[in-house]
Amino acid sequence: MRLALVGATGMVGEVMQSVLKEREFPVTEFIPVASAKSAGKNLTWNGQSYLIVTPEEALKLQPDVAIFSAGGETSLEWAPKFAAQGCFVIDNSSAWRMDPSIPLVVPEVNPEALAMDSRIIANPNCSTIQLVMVLKPLHQRSPIKRVIVSTYQSVTGTGKAAVDQLENERQGIQGPTVYPHPIDKNCIPHCDVFLENDYTKEEMKLTLETKKILNDASVLVSATAVRVPVQGGHSEAVNIEFAGERPPMEDICACLRDFPGVTVLDDPTAKSYPMPRFAEGQDDVFVGRIRADHSHPQALNCWIVADNLRKGAATNAVQIAEELLRCGKLKA
Burial class (CB in 10 A: 0-12, 13-18, 19+), 63: buried
Between helix 201-214 and helix 126-141 the angle, nearest 10°, is: 40
C-beta of residue 67 within 8 angstroms of C-beta of residue 5: yes
Spatial CA neighbour of 38 closest among 60, 66, 16, 70: 70
CB neighbour class for 201 (10 Å; exposed up to 12, middle 13-18, buried from 19): middle
Q: Distance between CA 26 and CA 11 in Å, rounded? A: 23
In 3D space, the residue among 146, 122, 105 whose CA is nearest the CA of residue 244 turns out to be 146
What is the rounded (10 degree) CA torsion for 288, 289, 294, 296? -30
Q: Which residue among the candidates 87, 139, 191, 234 is catalytic per the annotation?
A: 234
DSSP for 219-249 reads -EEEEEEEE-S--S-EEEEEEEEESSSPPPH
Catalytic residue, candidates 126, 191, 255, 302: 126
Q: Partners of 236 in the beta sheet?
A: 151, 304
126 included as an active-site residue: yes
Active site residue 296: no
Cα–Cα dist 67/259, whole Å:
26
Which phi and psi angles does 160 have, rounded to 5°? Answer: -60, -35
The catalytic site residues sit at: 126, 234
